[in-house]
Amino acid sequence: MFVIVDQFVKWLVLDKFSDIVVMNYNGVFGILPAWVSFVAFVVLMLVMLRSKWFHPALVLVVSGGVSNLIDRVIYTGVIDFIAVWNFPVFNVADMLISVGAAWMIAHESGAIAFLKKRSTHE
């Protein structure tokens, strides 16, 4: 579902607002080489396949990675179009990856359980 939404938004932006598109031929917000993103995605997929652990945040990360991988196969780069201040240009898939990763980190670090426990004691 998330992949379809991201690909539709990219298609819409390419069709109607192509002047704001920035092609990212690098990886991770255009900062690291593309192979780093690919290796991280492969490692995540292997961990997910070998693990019995599942979390909805993983769906966000994998969906964003698959959508950006589709861009790399079709366009040889990722379609980025959201520009905010001096932050690197990004897209919906990048937001999915970022939110999913932050959610997984918060879950694994116990931060979410700590906040839930704290809110029940107040």
Per residue in 52-85, pLDDT tens?
Answer: 656 788 889 889 988 998 998 899 999 999 989 8
Amino acid type, 104: M
C-alpha triplet 63, 40, 90: angle, nearest 5°: 55
- 6, 19, 71, 94: which is the annotated catalytic residue? 94
pTM for the model: 0.73
Three-class secondary structure of residue 16 per DSSP: helix
**Average pLDDT rounded to a whole number, residues 42-53:** 68
pLDDT at 5: 95
Answer yes or no: 80 catalytic. yes
Q: Please give the residue that has the higher pLDDT: either 48 or 23.
A: 23
Considering its fold, how many domains does the chain have in total? 1
Residue 65 belongs to what domain range?
A: 2-120
Answer yes or no: 94 catalytic. yes
Instruction: Give yes or no for residue 3 having a pLDDT over 80.
Output: yes
Strands (E), the chain: 22-24, 78-80
- 6, 15, 71, 80: which is the annotated catalytic residue? 80
Contact (CB, 8 A) for 61 and 44: yes
pLDDT at 102: 86
pLDDT at 114: 61
- Whats the size of the chain, residue-wise? 122
* CA pair distance 100, 56, nearest whole angstrom: 8
Beta bridge partners of 82: 90
* CA pair distance 63, 3, nearest whole angstrom: 5
